[in-house]
Chains A and B, each alone.
Chain A
Amino acid sequence: MLAKRIIACLDVRDGCVVKGVNFEGLQAAGDPAALARRYNVEGIDELVILDVTATIEGRRALESTVRAVSAELFIPLTVGGGIRSEDDAAAVIDAGADKVSLNSAALANPELITRLAARYGSQAVIVALDAKLSDTSYEVYARSGRAPTLRNAVEWAQEAEWRGAGEILLTSIDRDGTRTGFDCALTAAVSNAVRIPVIASGGAGKFADFLEVFTVGRADAALAASIFHYSEHAVGDLKHYLSERGIPIRR
């Protein structure tokens, strides 16, 4: 039976992890490769490196980060943040990324989804969708949640699918950073409307939040950052918790 995936996100700026790194025993705190190594030992199913750099120098640092992480870890690696063109995608894929995550660039230029899917296969193309509740429906935001697009989240997810996306990375802007749980209504609405896997993101605070998003939220995978940073055993403990409650998990 297909396991529900637990995905750790590393926010990286200029080659260093910038968010929520606060644990003991790690020699090179802030080193993405060291953090990735630890997550791998704990049993994480996938990694996402999210680049929050805005400079050329930072992009080069990103490529060496991707190279360092992929050289020794043999689990799927996604790179997102700042991928605006086919060349940007090619650079991180050549460095060792298995998938790229497109966000604002896909909204501005949906053809990019199709071009990348034709070149690398749909399995290499994730469309990241940041959504916020507005009245009774969910609206898509671009530019890290700052720019409303007037697009409906469910409709954009469906469009991304027919344009060739292999997965949807769905982030709730309302829940992101709150640690109050995933937005299960949003996740279920999108997951029920597409045939491709949906990765839920935004709001993970406790183990029960994952159980809820895998059941009520119908998520295929769940992504978090800080919940995994603060404890050395969080990934293993979370998997044990979910497994005991009947969620299929990779052990």
Chain B
Amino acid sequence: MKRIALIDYGAGNLTSVRKGFVAAGADLFTPDSPSALAGMSAIVVPGVGHFAATSSLSDGWREAIAVAVRQGTPLLGICLGLQWLFEGSEEAPDVPGLGAIPGRCFRLPPPLKVPHVGWNALEPTPRPPSALLEGVHPGTHMYFTHSYAAPVTDACAAWTSHGVRFASVVDAGNVFGVQFHPEKSSDSGIRILENFVRISCSRNE
């Protein structure tokens, strides 16, 4: 049976993410060891808080997720989970990210208030639209809460501005990420989770 794995590495409360996926038609499974990732149809890396919290992914999880990604398993990083897809973050320079997407995350600069908390718009990039954003119109507001952000690179499928532009949606092959919380972004957020569930199903047919 194909299932979507939710990685619980202790970074925050996962109740809302689970409920969001239930609304999107998927019941997430929480594997208790990295070896349980084999055979999963997709992987979700959630997370709130400090980048250093992702260091608990180093005990085998990082390698197991990298293997699954190389095999084509769709991966979705949410909030801190998106930042972890990159090589690292200036929030915790010694903690490596997954490195699936080149670049390092940075602190949102003054003078605007940080953390960036609230609803902000997704702006389109020149590249072809991401399957993750199907049915989500440019300019749609999503709910953000973060102090660090990912750079706008080739992997950026939508950007958002808070003093500077940052990547709010990334799409690099089978690796996806959203800086906002789709599970807290009303109907449009649930649509993005539905899109990810659909991507997971189609890649595993």
A contact residues vs B (CB 8 Å cutoff): 1-5, 40, 45, 70-72, 74-76, 93-94, 96, 98, 120-124, 166-167, 195-197, 220-221, 250-251
Q: How far in angstroms is the closest Cβ of chain B from A122? A: 7
Kindly state whether residue B187 has any CB partner on chain A within 8 Å. Answer: yes
* Residue from the list A1, A75, A96 in contact with B15, Cβ < 8 A: A96
Q: How many A-B residue pairs have CB under 8 A?
A: 89
Residue B141 at the A interface, CB < 8 A? yes
Docked CA distance A96–B14 (Å): 9
- Interfacial residues of chain B within 131-159, with CB under 8 A of chain A in the complex: 141, 143-146
B48 touches A167 (CB 8 A): no
Q: Which residues of B contact A (CB under 8 A)?
A: 11-13, 15-16, 19-20, 23, 48-49, 112-121, 141, 143-146, 161-162, 183-187, 189-190
Taking CB as reference atom, which chain A residue is nearest B162?
A2
Contact status of A74 and B113, CB under 8 A, knowing A93-B13, A250-B141: no
When the two chains form their complex, are residues A74 and B183 in contact, meaning their CB atoms are under 8 A apart?
Answer: yes
CA distance A42 to B170 in the complex (A): 30
**Whole-angstrom distance from the CB of A177 to the nearest CB of chain B?**
26
Determine whether the beta carbon of B121 is less than 8 Å from that of A1: yes
Which listed residue (B118, B161, B187) contacts A220, Cβ 8 A? Answer: B118
A74-B183, A250-B141 known; A120-B113 Cβ under 8 A: no
Measured between beta carbons, the chain B residues less than 8 angstroms from A124 are 12-13, 48
In whole Å, how far is A3's beta carbon from the nearest beta carbon of chain B?
Answer: 4
What is the chain B residue whose CB lies nearest that of A72? B23
CB neighbours (8 Å) of A250 from chain B are 119, 141
Q: Contact: B12 with A121, CB < 8 Å?
A: yes
Q: How far apart sit A4 and B121, CA to CA, in the bound complex (Å)?
A: 12
Q: A1-B161, A96-B16 are in contact. Are A75 and B184 (CB under 8 A)?
A: yes
